[in-house]
Amino acid sequence: MTKLYLARHGETFDNERQIMQGQTPGELNTNGIRQAEELSLQLVDVSFNAVVASDLWRSVQTARIVAAPHHLEVVTTPLLRERDWGSFTGRFIPDLKDVKPWPDDIETLQQMKDRAGRFLDYIRTTYPDQTVLAVGHGIINKAIQAVFFHKEMHEIEKMKNAEVRILDISL
């Protein structure tokens, strides 16, 4: 049985300022570091075979904190990157609420779900019958769950920073 512990990174400076991060590296703020440390304590007794993270710094940073007591290196993959927000990246989120239509350079929900499916296949084939912690981002984690549960993205509850959900993703 392949068990996936799917986590979201801790809070970042841009989360705190409501800035659309997209595929920028990001950096955990003091609260985000504390959240990652709390997640580490929550998962300290889980026997992980691997820790995988988005290749964006905020996820790597979170994954390293959680992986430390397990003495595991963090493997990164762009499959876990956050949604590419194109020209919305770096903008103040409340200012984007009523923008219609959205620019064409934003990754579509279908593109995200396709990437999420490739991520699940990657975990199943690379880590068969293992327990894996994967640290991603809010929207890609929603896409992963939507694909896994055969639901629409809006049906998946938003993950809080440093929240974890467990999925049995065996073939």
What number of other Cβ atoms are within 10 A of residue 90's Cβ? 12
- State residue 54's pLDDT score: 98
Tens digits of per-residue pLDDT, 108-152?
999 999 999 999 999 999 999 999 999 999 999 999 999 999 999
Cβ–Cβ under 8 Å, residues 170 and 1? yes
- State residue 170's pLDDT score: 79
Active site residue 9: yes
- State residue 167's pLDDT score: 98
Write down the mean pLDDT value for the chain.
Answer: 97
Catalytic choice (11, 82, 107, 137): 82
Catalytic choice (9, 11, 107, 137): 9
Active site residue 37: no
Sites in the chain below the pLDDT cut of 50? none
- State residue 171's pLDDT score: 63
